Structure 1
Amino acid sequence: MKAAVISSFDQPPHYGDYTDPAPKGPGEMLVEVLAAGLHHVTRGQASGVHYSSSGELPLVPGVDGVGRDTDGKLRYFVQGPGQLGTMADRTVIEFDHSIELPHDSDAVTVAGAMNPATASWLALRCRVPFQRGQKVLILGATGSSGSMAVQIARYLGASQVIAAGRDEHKLAKLPALGATEIVSLEDVGLGPLAHDVDVVLDFVWGESAIRAMEAVLKHRENRGQSLTWIHIGSMAGEVAAIPGAFLRSANLSIVGSGYGSVSGRQILKELPSLAEEIARGTFRIDVKATPLSNVGQAWCEAAHTSERIVFTP
């Protein structure tokens, strides 16, 4: 079969031949891949730097996708560590790591939206007892996951959604997606604006997160009010040197959200309702369908586009 193949962690994948996959047990099934999104985690695994990377080569990248099973049903599926990736003509999935989609679902839209949407959906549904009417600050709101987080926070009932990012052009578009306020990550007004939020969805981490945390806490009038800071992504760095005073001086909890901190069972429980809303068109995301045969070029161009690239074998 044809697939995107990673032969070196410091080179983009090439389009070539790969061994045909075959199920090895009763819980596995072969699927025809219809669409597979190019996500940040996919790039991280393909470069060997993501914590879930197996470190083995060659490999077929891709952590999720939409495909058709042997019964003709449309499925969204997620691949675990060590499984064959999704950027190929076919792949083998674990049945209990997949969900059936409505037959009229748009495969490209679902494949492009599920991963970035899952990040904030799981954070607000599984990592914090989020309640309608609470206030949310989103750091890194101009990326695909961040803009999806704006929509999901509003959908789940947030009374205030403050979107913070660096790209002013993209920030300006977020009120149409549900942001009640927008602010630059470097703006001195971030702290006063977000002083009484209940939850922070942090896609940036690193020093940027520390500066934002200090700004919010400095202007927080009620230090006893609970603030849950959820680390989701690390666009500004993997390490954040958090001063102990931050934790002692306020009712601040810092948690992570991702595969591991959220169990596979929890994820599978949450995916159907999220997939249903995406298939229904509840959330907006810009996706670009690209032939898998163009994987090398598209892989290199992905960093310069705001669209989520989705490969179609």
Structure 2
Amino acid sequence: MKAAIMYQNRAVPAYADVPAPVTTQDDELLVTVKAVAIKHYDKGRASGKHYSADAPGENGRIVGGDGVCLLPDGTRVYGMGNGMMAEKAVINKHRMVPIPAGLDDATAAALPNAVIGSAMGLKYKAAIQPGDVVLVNGATGFTGSVAVQLAKYYGAGKVIVTGRNKQSLDALSTLGADIAISLLQEEQEIKKQLKTIHTATPVDIVIDYLWGRSAEIILDSIRGDGTFTNRIRYVSVGSMAGDLIQLSSAILRSVNIQLTGSGLGSWPVEQVALLFSEILPETFQLAADGKLVTNTAAIPLQHISSIWDSTAPDGGRFVVII
């Protein structure tokens, strides 16, 4: 069968022939793969740079950990497994979700990772409540745009977004963003705007896809002065702007803040089960009904090498069609 394989000492996957996989456990299913999204998570795991994966062995590693596939009886599902960017793959029967008839393959493949990167943080790490003021740091990417929409769907009273791409930042207003702050400005101007907003309508939740210097600016902007403060839930989901920050202990002492992360290993088993039984089915239906908007660009599997390091236009996501 054909597959996208990351070999040792290669920067991009190769389009190559490999033997078809076989099931070895009772909870596994052999499926026909239809579509797989290209995500930062997949890129990190393929190269061994993500904390959840080692570098590929001498025989290489098939790329992809999830996608849209057909069960042996023809049922179309979203499933999680290993080596998904191939004509055939093995998925876990406990980690699959039926896909509504009105949802196309590309959207169904691209949406789950963004939902995991937004809903899990909003619902379980931040415990979002109706009326909460939510700041999405780095909202111009695919997952950030989904976070904006889900924050409003979950009842946020106001959504503030930051980003560097002006066109994408402006477009977020059509998805529910109330205030946009450009990270291309001088740091003092960014801090001034954040402080003004926080004084008028205190930020309750920060969903952060950037970390790095932008996180330092946000945290400094919410620093307290000794008076009572609202409870702030700061959730780190990504680190596109850097993996490390400097954090003053005065910020932790002066603000009622909960600083946490949302990612593989940070959720209990019960919450992961709810992801498959409730959250993904609900968001799939929202997308099928046109109430959750995404932007995807489809490419054939044989073009994987040429597109691997490219960025999809307008904050979208590339999806490999197989």
What TM-score range do you get, normalising by the shorter chain? over 0.9
- TM-score of the aligned structures, taking structure 2 as reference length: 0.90
Which range is displaced more, 146-155 or 266-275?
Answer: 266-275
Which range is displaced more, 266-275 or 225-234?
Answer: 266-275
RMSD: 1.8
Deviation at 1:45, TM superposition (A): 1.1
Deviation at 1:149, TM superposition (A): 0.8
Provide the residue aligned with 1:215 in structure 2: 221
**Alignment equivalent of 1:193, drawn from 176, 194, 197:** 197
* Corresponding letter in the other structure for 2:298: A
Q: Distance in 2 between matches of 1:168 and 1:284?
A: 19
1:279 aligns with 2:312: no
Provide the residue aligned with 1:268 in structure 2: 273
* Corresponding letter in the other structure for 1:229: Y
Provide the residue aligned with 1:250 in structure 2: 255
Distance 1:272 1:265, change over 3 A: farther
Deviation at 1:104, TM superposition (A): 4.0
Q: Distance in 2 between matches of 1:51 and 1:202?
A: 18
- TM-score of the aligned structures, taking structure 1 as reference length: 0.93
Distance 1:305 1:157, change over 3 A: closer
1:63 aligns with 2:65: yes
Deviation at 1:305, TM superposition (A): 6.3
Instruction: Find runs of 4+ consecutive structure 1 residues off by over 6 angstroms.
Output: none
Given that residues 9 and 48 in structure 1 are in contact (C-alpha distance below 8 angstroms), is that contact kept between their aligned partners in structure 2? Answer: no
Deviation at 1:59, TM superposition (A): 0.4
Deviation at 1:64, TM superposition (A): 1.2
Distance 1:222 1:120, change over 3 A: farther
Q: Distance in 1 between matches of 2:210 and 2:320?
A: 26
SS of residue in 2 equivalent to 1:56: coil
Q: Which ranges of structure 2 fall in alignment gaps of 5 or more residues?
A: none
* Corresponding letter in the other structure for 1:38: I
* Corresponding letter in the other structure for 1:54: D
Q: Distance in 1 between matches of 2:90 and 2:108?
A: 19
Identity over the aligned pairs, expressed in percent?
Answer: 34
The count of corresponding residues between Structure 1 and Structure 2 is 308
* Corresponding letter in the other structure for 1:97: R
Provide the residue aligned with 1:149 in structure 2: 147
Q: Distance in 2 between matches of 1:9 and 1:213?
A: 39
SS of residue in 2 equivalent to 1:67: strand
Q: Distance in 1 between matches of 2:284 and 2:54?
A: 28
* Corresponding letter in the other structure for 1:85: G
Provide the residue aligned with 2:38 in structure 1: 38
* Corresponding letter in the other structure for 1:281: G
Provide the residue aligned with 2:208 in structure 1: 202
Provide the residue aligned with 1:229 in structure 2: 234
Provide the residue aligned with 1:121 in structure 2: 119
